[in-house]
């Protein structure tokens, strides 16, 4: 398990790898991206571990990577770092990259060996952990009826990647999308209206 300490004002989070069966834990050293200033912030941390392939685990960290250069200041730059239990150290993965300002890095979903991040307004991203490749995910079907997307769930279920979007004036109507295995598109899987149930059981 990957665990995180409680937030304390003025202090950084600490991250731990815990094994509940042996009651052993290890506090991870904080990543230190080269070329980034001291004001960088950790935005998301994920554990990648498949005991059928290797006894070693990896921890993937995404952090913002501020730069003092005028050209870079116009964009938001992010950096991926990977911790290996085999080397007990962090290393950079790829170069700094740009992403939409509303990319939800703290709520990434690991599915099929890949971490997925959703942006409500722009292209969403995914990171192949094995090949260390960053890519884009297909956009959701057009939502011309509603001016702003309201995404309420993003996760893995039954071996599939799902996303739930609320529509209508309240929160009782929603649509469930499922990602195709080949990443070609999101499939509108279910359209749900719980209005009658809410009226019957207020």
Are 131 and 117 contacting, i.e. CB atoms less than 8 angstroms apart?
no
Question: In this predicted model, what pLDDT tens digit does every residue of 15-50 receive, in sequence order?
Answer: 999 999 999 999 999 887 565 655 578 899 999 998
What does the alpha-carbon distance between residue 182 and residue 114 come to, in Å, rounded to a whole number? 13
- Same domain, yes or no: 84 and 183: no
The beta strands (E) that lie in 12-88 are given as: 15-19, 24-27, 42-48, 58-64, 77-84
> What's the confidence (pLDDT) of residue 38?
57
Quote the domain boundaries for residue 16.
1-137
- Same domain, yes or no: 36 and 125: yes
Tokens 């911790």 label which residue? 83
- Same domain, yes or no: 60 and 116: yes
Phi and psi of 174, rounded to 5°? -155, 165
- Same domain, yes or no: 129 and 59: yes
> What's the confidence (pLDDT) of residue 30?
85
pTM for this entry: 0.82
- Same domain, yes or no: 163 and 110: no
- Same domain, yes or no: 161 and 84: no
- Same domain, yes or no: 118 and 167: no
- Same domain, yes or no: 101 and 67: yes
Q: Distance of CA 60 to CAs 4, 105, 141, Å? A: 14, 12, 30
Question: In this predicted model, what pLDDT tens digit does every residue of 64-85 receive, in sequence order?
Answer: 876 544 444 445 689 999 999 9
For residue 29, the 8-state DSSP code is: P
- Same domain, yes or no: 145 and 110: no
Which string of DSSP letters, residue by residue, matches 127-190? EETTTTEEEEEPPPPP-TTSSS-EEEEEEEETTEEEEEEEESSSSSEEEEEEE-TTSS-EEEEE
Extract the residue ranges of the chain whose pLDDT is less than 50.
68-74
- Same domain, yes or no: 125 and 156: no
- What is the tally of structural domains in the chain? 2
């Amino acid at each position: 398990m990957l665990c995180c300490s409680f937030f304390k004002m003025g202090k950084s989070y600490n991250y731990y790898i815990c094994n509940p069966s042996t009651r052993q834990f290890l506090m991870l050293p904080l990543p230190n991206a080269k070329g980034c200033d001291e004001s960088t912030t950790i935005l998301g941390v994920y554990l990648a571990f498949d005991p059928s392939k290797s006894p070693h685990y990896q921890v993937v960290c995404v952090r913002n990577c501020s730069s003092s250069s005028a050209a870079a200041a116009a964009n938001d730059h992010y950096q991926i770092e990977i911790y290996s239990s085999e080397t007990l150290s962090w290393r950079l993965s790829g170069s700094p990259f740009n992403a939409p300002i509303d990319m939800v890095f703290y709520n990434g979903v690991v599915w099929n060996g890949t971490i997925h991040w959703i942006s409500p307004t722009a292209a969403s991203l995914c990171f192949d952990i094995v090949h260390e490749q960053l890519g884009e995910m297909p956009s959701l079907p057009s939502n011309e009826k509603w001016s702003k997307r309201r995404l309420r769930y993003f996760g893995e279920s039954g071996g599939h990647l799902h996303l739930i979007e609320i529509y209508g004036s309240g929160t009782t109507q929603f649509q469930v999308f499922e990602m195709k295995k080949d990443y070609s598109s999101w499939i509108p899987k279910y359209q749900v209206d719980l209005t009658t149930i809410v009226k019957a059981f207020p």
